[in-house]
Amino acid sequence: MTFQELQPKISAIVADTAAARDEKLLSICKLLNENVEYYNWVGFYFANHENKTLHLGPYIGAETDHTVIPFGKGICGQVAESNANFVVPDVAAQDNYIACSFTVKSEIVVPLFVNGLNIGQIDIDSHVIDPFTEADERFLEFVNQEVAKLF
């Protein structure tokens, strides 16, 4: 399924008044994981600005020990500080990378803004080296714009 085909499905999940927020987030993770071949782990992290930590939210994929990540640590922690998308074509070449699994070859993290504040991010791991393009970034920015409506 193309990103263009996925967009209305994302919007429909967000608009579903019968589902709770975490159910919607999990549905989005599942939709992306099942429909984008190289999205092998899809999840959300949410910021605690007082403690300067990220906390794992709903996700689909292999279990992770990284349920709390300090700001600045790893790719997710860097995005919490930079407020910018971070695409890692090859995690093995990244100094400040927190290894989740030997199967993970690349990662993309896109911040989630609500009223101008970075409240979290969508994090996607791939078992493929360098699969993410600018189209992925624009699509995931769209996903986060829709998710922001839930806050």
Return the structure tokens found at 107. Answer: 């990662």
| pLDDT over 70 (residue 95) | no
| Tens-digit pLDDT profile for residues 69-88 | 999 999 999 999 999 999 99
Compute the distance between CA of residue 135 and CA of residue 142 in angstroms, rounded to an integer. 11
Ramachandran sector of residue 115 (left: φ over 0; alpha: ψ -120 to 50; beta: rest): left
Share of the chain above pLDDT 90, in %: 87
Q: What share of the chain is helix, strand, coil (3-state, %, to 5)?
A: 40, 25, 35
| Tens-digit pLDDT profile for residues 39-62 | 999 999 999 999 999 999 999 999
Compute the distance between CA of residue 139 and CA of residue 101 in angstroms, rounded to an integer. 25
8 Å CB contact between 45 and 76: yes
Compute the distance between CA of residue 125 and CA of residue 120 in angstroms, rounded to an integer. 16
Per-residue model confidence (pLDDT) at position 128: 95
Compute the distance between CA of residue 28 and CA of residue 22 in angstroms, rounded to an integer. 10
Q: What are phi and psi of 42, to 5 degrees?
A: -130, 125
Nearest to 10 by CA among 35, 33, 27, 34: 27
Question: Taking the model in full, what pTM does it have?
Answer: 0.95
Q: What is the mean pLDDT of the chain?
A: 94
- If you average pLDDT over residues 25-33, what whole number do you get? 98
